[in-house]
Amino acid sequence: MKKTMLIAALALLGTAQAAPMIATNGYVRFFSVTKMENIEGVCQTAVSSLDLETGKIAIKSRNTTFVFPDKLMQEHFNENYMESDKYPVSSFSGTVSGFDRDALDQGKKVAAVIDGDLDVHGITKHYHTQGSLLKAADGAVAGETLFHVKISDHGIKVPSILTATIADSMELTARFTWRPTGKAK
C-alpha cells in the first residue's frame, strides 16, 4: 500500500511543470566606440528567468543601476538619453532555442539561438541573435550573448553635435548564471 501511495505521489509530481531557473546578478554591458570617446555602462544586478524546457527567457534591469566610469556620463545616460524617470526598466522577453540539450546536460558549452523583444526607452524591437549556454555540475546554467543595438531604433536621440562621441550602434553584452529555484510552477 505504501509503495502504491509512493508511486501515486510520484505520478502527481510528474504532472507539475518544472520551474524556470533564476539569475539575480546578471551582467549587462553596453559599449560604443567613436574616435572621440568610448562609452561603457555596466549593470551587474539584472534579473532573469530561463526555462530550459520551454526555452522561455525574461530579463529585466533598472536603468539607474548602470554604472559608468564617468559620473557625468551616467547622469546624462539617465537624464538625457534613457529618460530613466519615465522609462525606469529595460527588458527582454523571448526564447532560447536550437541548442543541444544532451550536450548541455553533459557539461559541454553549446550554441543557442536567441529570439525576442527588447524594450528600451519605451520602444520594443525584435532581435534575433546567437549565444551560448554552459551547465555546471551543480545544475547552474551560464549563458552569454553579444549583439548590436541601434539606439535610434529605440527612439533615443543624440544631438548632432554629439554624434562624434556617441555611436548609433551599441555593442550589448549579457552574461547570466541561472540557478534552479527548486520550486514547481
Partner 1 sequence: MKKRILPLLLLGGAIAGTMAILTSCGDSIESLTGSNQVVTDASGRVEFSQVQPILNQKCMPCHADDNYNDSAILAQGVSTFVTAVSSGAMPAPGAAPLSAVQKATLLSWLQSLAPSAAPPQPIVDAAGRVEFSQVVLITREKCAICHGSYTDSAKLSSSAASVENAVQIGYMPLDGSAPLTPVEKATLVTWLNQEQGL
CB of 14 to partner 1, least distance (A): 9
CB of 24 to partner 1, least distance (A): 8
| Straight-line distance from the first to the last Cα atom of the chain, in angstroms, rounded to the nearest whole number | 29
Beta-carbon contacts of residue 101 (< 8 Å; ≥ 6 apart): 52
Q: Which is nearer to partner 1, 32 or 90 (CB)?
A: 90
CB of 11 to partner 1, least distance (A): 5
Beta-carbon contacts of residue 177 (< 8 Å; ≥ 6 apart): 23, 25, 140, 141, 142, 143
Q: Which is nearer to partner 1, 69 or 88 (CB)?
A: 88
Q: Which is nearer to partner 1, 11 or 72 (CB)?
A: 11
**Three cell numbers written together for 133:** 549556454
Scored b (16 or more CB within 10 A) or e, 134-147 reads: ebeeeeebebbbeb
Residue 71, amino acid: K
| Beta bridge partner(s), residue 144 | 132, 175
**Three cell numbers written together for 54:** 520551454
Q: Which is nearer to partner 1, 57 or 104 (CB)?
A: 57
CB of 28 to partner 1, least distance (A): 14
Specify whether the CB–CB gap between 48 and 57 falls below 8 A: yes
Q: Which is nearer to partner 1, 32 or 49 (CB)?
A: 49
Q: Comparing C-alpha atoms, which of 124, 41, 28, 46 is closest to residue 81?
A: 41
Residues lying near partner 1 in the complex (CB under 8 A) are found at 4, 7-8, 11-12, 15, 19-20, 22, 47-49, 56, 58, 60, 62, 88-89, 91, 93, 181, 183, 185
CB of 119 to partner 1, least distance (A): 8
